[in-house]
Amino acid sequence: MATKPQKSIITTDMCFGCGKNNPLSLKLNFKWDGKTAKAKFTPNKFHQGFTGIVHGGVISTILDEAMGQAAYRAGIKCVTGTMLIRFKRPLSVGEPVIVTASVTKQVRRLVEIEAKMTLLDGTPVAEAQATEVIPSWKAESEE
Amino acid sequence: MVAEPPKSVFYSDLCFGCGKNNSIGLKLKFKWDGKAVRTEFTPNRLHQGWAEVIHGGIITAVLDEAMAYAAGYEGIKCITATMQTRFKHPLSVGEPTIVTASVTRNARRLIETTAKMTLKDGTLIAECTAKQVAAGEARWEERPKKKSGEELK
């Protein structure tokens, strides 16, 4: 690969959340209906924290990825500035969930995004709110 | 807030954060100085979000794990109820970081924790505060694949 910028905002197939060529990746595959990014995910035993309970960090990663995808599909490339996660219910290994995210507000370089994770029956698992930033280094490193 | 926190939870060697037998895990190892836990973490290319930039979710997972360990060393097993992460500086693939976490408030069932990740030169990458719910007493000898007290001070 050519000289890679140190801080780029370029998509990669090695992304931990969605990368098809990352063996560790969660391989989240989002659908976009013009407003909301949506994906289905079933955590396996490698995603646990305490025995049988999915790691809060993995749930956060899924929500963060969903929010990044929602912005990207809406035409915005941004990085997470602050992220608040509220866990509503412990998630067990093997329980399928639906994750949705959408951009709620954009003011110049600040983008507000919300995401939620529910069981298939709609039971809330976790919610996230993030303020994302369109980085100033984007211009220099744009592909 | 967690609707129904489990009454007891158990350590697993498959933990995404610290499990030795989790092939995709972060395999974090913490040291406790009596007040805070500390670990070093160098993200690799499998931890990217955007090309060359580490995924915010991975950073959050490292901080979450560190806070759970801090509570564990204080004798509490807990699960995260809310967590707020503030990202200060993008982290690149291969940049070594230092992660510290401690318990800031321990009020029976509700535990407040804080964690931060810095570069070796002290540059702040991210900081995090969390409210956790107690789910039993932490007994290190229960932990799989670890000798009793191995990591205690």
In a domain, A133, yes or no: yes
- Asked whether the beta carbons of residue B12 and residue A86 sit closer than 8 angstroms, the reply is no
Find the mean pLDDT for residues B87-101: 96
Higher-confidence position of B152 and B115: B115
| B143 band by pLDDT with thresholds 50, 70 and 90 | low
Tell me: the pLDDT tens digits for A28-82? 999 999 999 999 999 999 999 999 999 999 999 999 999 999 999 999 999 999 9
| B64/A56 Cβ within 8 A | yes
**Residue A58 included in any domain:** yes
Most confident of A8-12, A94-98, B7-11: A94-98
Give me the phi and psi of B78, to 5 degrees please.
Answer: -140, 160
- Of B69, B52, B130, the residue nearest A7 (C-alpha): B52
A7-21 average pLDDT score: 87
A1 pLDDT more than 90: no
pLDDT at B141: 58
Decide if A58 contacts A92 (C-beta within 8 A): no
Give CA separation, A18 vs A24, A28, A136, B46, B47, in Å.
Answer: 10, 5, 24, 11, 11
d(CA B144, CA B18): 11
Determine the Cα–Cα distance for residues B66 and B37; give it in Å rounded to an integer: 7
CATH value at residue A61: 3.10.129.10
Residue numbers of the domain that contains A78: 31-141
Span B64-88, average pLDDT: 94
pLDDT at B2 over 60: no
Task: Cite the beta strand spans of chain A per DSSP E.
Answer: 31-32, 37-41, 79-87, 97-107, 110-119, 124-133
What's chain B's average pLDDT? 87
User: Is A98 domain-assigned?
Assistant: yes
User: Residue A140's pLDDT is what?
Assistant: 47
Asked if A49 lies within 8 A of B10 by C-beta distance, the reply is: no
pTM: 0.88
Q: Please choose, from the candidates A60, A54, A42, A25, the residue with its C-alpha nearest in 3D space to the C-alpha of residue B15.
A: A54
**Per-residue model confidence (pLDDT) at position B142:** 60
Which amino acid, B37? V
**A120 and chain B in contact, CB less than 8 A:** no
B 35-54 near A (Cβ less than 8 A): 45-53
Q: Which of A6-15, A102-111, B95-104, B134-143 has the lowest mean pLDDT?
A: B134-143
Q: Are A49 and A56 in contact (CB under 8 A)?
A: yes
B2 touches chain A (CB under 8 A): yes
Q: What is the ipTM for the molecules in this complex?
A: 0.87
Say if A67 falls within a structural domain.
yes
Q: What is the secondary structure of A15-33 as a DSSP string?
A: -TTT-TT-TT------EE-
Q: How far, in Å, CA of A84 to CA of B128, rounded?
A: 9
Q: Do residues A77 and B51 lie in contact, with contact meaning Cβ atoms separated by under 8 Å?
A: no
The span from the CA of B12 to the CA of A50, in Å, is 6
| Sheet with A110-119: strands ordered across | A31-32, A37-41, A97-107, A110-119, A124-133, A79-87, B76-87, B124-137, B110-119, B97-107, B37-41, B31-32
Question: In CATH, what is the architecture of B31-142?
Answer: Roll (3.10)
For position B81, what pLDDT does the model report?
Answer: 94
Is A25 contained in some domain? no
Q: How far apart are CA B117 and CA B113, in angstroms?
A: 14
pLDDT at A139: 46
Q: Of A124, A117, A118, A142, whose CA–CA distance to B57 is shortest?
A: A117
Residues 72-111 of B with CB under 8 A from A: 77, 79-87, 90, 92
Q: Is residue A59 part of a domain?
A: yes
* B98-132 per-position pLDDT tens digit: 999 999 999 878 999 999 999 999 999 999 999 99
Residue B22 near residue B16, CB atoms below 8 Å: yes
Confidence at residue B11, expressed as pLDDT on a 0 to 100 scale: 83
B95-107 pLDDT, tens digit each: 999 999 999 999 8
Quick check: is A22 in a domain?
A: no
More confident residue, A18 or B11: A18
pLDDT band at A6 (very low <50, low <70, confident <90, very high): very low
The average pLDDT across B48-75 equals 94
Which residues does A139 contact at the CB level (< 8 Å), separation at least 6?
none
Say what percent of chain A tops pLDDT 70. Answer: 90
The verdict on a CB contact (< 8 Å) between B46 and A58 is no
What does the alpha-carbon distance between residue A33 and residue B94 come to, in Å, rounded to a whole number?
Answer: 36
Average pLDDT of chain A to the nearest whole number? 90
Q: Which of A35, A39, A5 is nearest to A25 (CA)?
A: A39
**A contacts of B19 (beta carbons < 8 Å):** 48
Residue in chain A closest to B89 (alpha carbons) equals A81
Alpha-carbon distance of A64 to A138, in angstroms, equals 19
Number of domains present in the structure of chain A: 1
